Structure 1
C-alpha cells in the first residue's frame, strides 16, 4: 500500500486550477490495493530528517525531525460495485524547535458503481489536514515562524459512458472543494471551488486516443473585503492525445487555451496558452524515465495580488540495479513572473532505496532546493537529508 492520499509536499507543489481540482479528491482504490482483491491493507513509515533551512528563508534555521506515517485502507465489494475507505496520518516531532511539532490526518472514500459495460459512476469524499511547504507559493517565507496549515474537504462525481477500450467515450465530472486556513493572517485565502469538466475521447489506434476537454471552475473566496478577493471563473478549452505504445511509452499531452475572469474589476483578465505533458518511458524492464511539463494559471498567496502564469518542467530517472536496490534522480524547474518580479526555482532530489525483505525497505534521500529572484527577500537555498524505513504490506 503506497501513499495515495497525500504525497510528501515537495518544493514544486502547485496551486493551479488543475492541481487544486485533482487534490480535492485524491483517494484511489487501485493505489491502495493494486490488483489484489483484499479487504484491508496497512503500512507504516518512519523518517528521520535533517533540514538546514526549515522555512526556506534567506537566513537559514535548521533542525532535525522524526516522522511517523501510518496508513490503513479497507475494500468491500458489492457484486460488481466496490467501496474503498482509508486513513493516512503524519506525526512529526522536531528536536530543537518542538513548537513546530504537528499532526496531520487524511481520510477518504470512493464508491464505484458499475452499472453496465457502458455506464460507470464514481463518487468520492475526502478530508485533509495539511501543511503548506514553505516556498511552494509566490509569497515570501522570511516572515514565517511556523508552518501554514489548512483543512481541505472535497466531494466528486464522475460519470462515464463507454470504457477506455471503446471507440468513443464520454466523461463528465463535478468536483467541489473547500479550503480553510488555520492562521487568521491567511484567511483571505479561504476559498470554495466548484469545477465541471466534460470530455470526449476517440480511439484512433488500438493504444492511442485523442480527446477534447472543457472545464469550468468557479473560485469563490470567502473574504471579499478590500483588494483581497480573487474570486473568478476559470475556463479551459483543451485538445489532446493519450497513448500506450507497446508498454514502452505511455503519456498524456494536452494543449489549449485558458481564461481567468475575476469578479473584482481591480484584477485584470488572464488569458494565455495552456499545455501539460505527463510521459513515462520504459527503455527496459529495470529503468524508467518520467517527463512532466506544464503551463498553468496559479492562485496567488499574496494578499492584494491576482494570479499568475507558471511554467514548470520535471525529469525523473529511476533505475533498478538489482531486485532489491533502486536509485532515483529527479530535477524540477519552475519559473514565473509577477509584475516586475521574476522567480526561478530548482529542485534536485536523489533517492536510494534498498529492500531489506519482501515487506520492509530502507531509503536514503537528499534534496536540494533553490529559488532565485530579482527581489532578494524571495530567494533562498536549502538542503535536506532523510533516512526512512517503510513497510510494504499488500
Structure 2
C-alpha cells in the first residue's frame, strides 16, 4: 500500500496540475496543483502536512522514525541503483496524457476547442536513497520572492542529504500546431546536518514554461513564455531543548521571451529570520520577519521593497491532524515617490494556513488559505491583492482505486493604473479517479471546471476539460 501511495505522489509530479490560484504558468508542475504553477490555482493550496499526497513528495513527518540511510554493504548492485520497488538512488518516470477542452484560450466568446497530447519524461536521484521526492518547489511568478507560500522544512535525518530532478513536458495542440512547445524543470537540494543542532541547506529550482492562456496577456501571441530561477540558502540552529532559530536568503529571477513582456522581468532578493519556541513535542510557536527587495529590469517605476511581520504556530496533535499557520502584516513601499504618494492600500493582512485532517484510514481532507499583496501580471495594473484557498478531499475506495476532489477559489483585486475597476473571482473544481494497475503503473481520469467572473466583462470565461493519463515510475 505504501508503494502505491509513492506512485500516486509521483503521478502528481508528472501531471500538469491546472489548479493554480494565483499563478499563471501552465508548465511542468512539481507536486500537485499548485498551488498549480505559478499558478493556475496553486500547489500553494495544498497542505504541506500530508505525508502522502498533499505533502511535498517524500517529506517525512516530524515524528517519523524511519531511517533514510542506505544499507552499507560495500559495492552497490544494479538492483539498488535502479529499483522497481522505488528504493533505489535513481528514479526514472514517464507520463503520457490526453485532454480535451472546450475553451483553449479562456475566452468569454469565440471559444476554441482543443485536444492536447502531453508526453512528460523525467528522472530524479537522491543520496541517501529514499522512496519519495524530498521536496516540492512550486514558484509563483506574481508572488514577491517567487513563493506564494513558504516551503516546509525538509526533515533530512542523515548527516548529508542531496536530491536532483530533471523533467520535460512535450505539448502538442490539435487546434494550432504553432502552439506546440516543450517545458522543462530542473531542481535540486543539498542539506548538511552538523552536531549541536546546526544545519545548512541550499536549493535551486529552474523552470522554462509559459503563462496560461489569458486575454489579459500583453502579447498578441497567445503563448507568453518565460524562464525563472529560484535559489535559496538556509541556516537552521536548534540550540536548546525549547529554542530554535533559522535564517533564509533567496533570489528569484524572472525573464520573459518576448520584448512586449519585458515590463514583467524582475529580480527579487529576500531575507527572512525565524525564532521558534517549542511549547511541547507536538506544538511550536514562532515569529518571522521577512524583507523583500524587488527590482524590475526595464519597468523600474514598479521597483519596491516589502516588510512582512508574522506570528505563527506549527501543531501536530496526532498522526491524523496537523496545522501550520502564520498571520501578520505586509507593508509595501514603492521607490518612486509619485507612485508611493498616489497609491493606496499598500499594506494589510498577510496570511498562510495549511490544515490536514485524516478522518479515517481511507478518508482525508486538507485546507490551504493564502492572502497577500502580489505583483501585477497586467500592464495596466500596479499590483493586486490576492486571497486564495483550496479544499482537497481524498477517498481510498479500494486498495487500487483512489478518488480525489479539489475545489479552489481565488479573488484578485487589481490596483488599476487607469479608470475602471478590475476585481476577479475564479473558481476551479477538479474531481479525479486514480487506479493502480501495478506498483509502477497508474492511470488517472479527471474532469475540470474552471471559471472566472470579473467586474470587467472582458476577463470572464468558463472552460470544461476532460483528461486521461498513464503514469509510470520506478
The Cα of 1:312 is off from its aligned counterpart by: 1.3
CA distance in 2, matches of 1:360, 1:290: 26
Unaligned runs of 5+ in 1: 24-29
The Cα of 1:166 is off from its aligned counterpart by: 4.4
The Cα of 1:244 is off from its aligned counterpart by: 0.8
CA distance in 1, matches of 2:196, 2:168: 37
Q: 1:333-365 deviations in whole A, cap 9, x for unaligned? A: 111323522211111111110111111111101
- Decide which moves more: 153-162 or 77-86: 77-86
Corresponding position: 1:155 with 2:231: yes
Structure 2 length normalisation: TM-score?
A: 0.74
| SS of corresponding position for 1:71 | strand
Task: Indicate the RMSD between aligned Cα atoms, in angstroms.
Answer: 2.6
Unaligned runs of 5+ in 2: 1-6, 25-34, 44-55, 61-65, 71-87, 130-157
CA distance in 2, matches of 1:209, 1:249: 15
Number of corresponding residues: 377
Give the direction of change, closer, same or farther, for the CA distance of 1:117–1:326 in structure 2 (3 Å limit).
Answer: farther
Of 225, 249, 256, 2:328 maps to: 256
Query: Partner residue of 1:355?
Result: 436
| SS of corresponding position for 2:302 | coil
Query: Partner residue of 1:84?
Result: 163
Query: Partner residue of 1:110?
Result: 189
**Which residues in structure 2 correspond to 1:1-394 (within 5 Å)?**
2=10, 8-14=17-23, 31=57, 37=70, 38-59=88-109, 60-77=111-128, 80-135=159-214, 140=216, 145-162=221-238, 166-224=241-299, 229-267=301-339, 268=343, 270-338=346-414, 339=416, 340-393=421-474
CA distance in 1, matches of 2:436, 2:14: 23
Give the direction of change, closer, same or farther, for the CA distance of 1:100–1:319 in structure 2 (3 Å limit).
Answer: same
| SS of corresponding position for 1:245 | coil
- Decide which moves more: 305-314 or 371-380: 305-314
Query: Partner residue of 1:26?
Result: none
| SS of corresponding position for 2:261 | helix
Q: 1:51-79 deviations in whole A, cap 9, x for unaligned? A: 11112112211110110111211223598
| SS of corresponding position for 1:284 | coil
The structure whose residues are more often strand, as a share, is: 1
| SS of corresponding position for 2:108 | coil
Give the direction of change, closer, same or farther, for the CA distance of 1:290–1:173 in structure 2 (3 Å limit).
Answer: same
Give the direction of change, closer, same or farther, for the CA distance of 1:122–1:202 in structure 2 (3 Å limit).
Answer: same
Give the direction of change, closer, same or farther, for the CA distance of 1:51–1:129 in structure 2 (3 Å limit).
Answer: same
Q: 1:116-139 deviations in whole A, cap 9, x for unaligned? A: 24100001223210221235xxx7
CA distance in 1, matches of 2:98, 2:460: 27
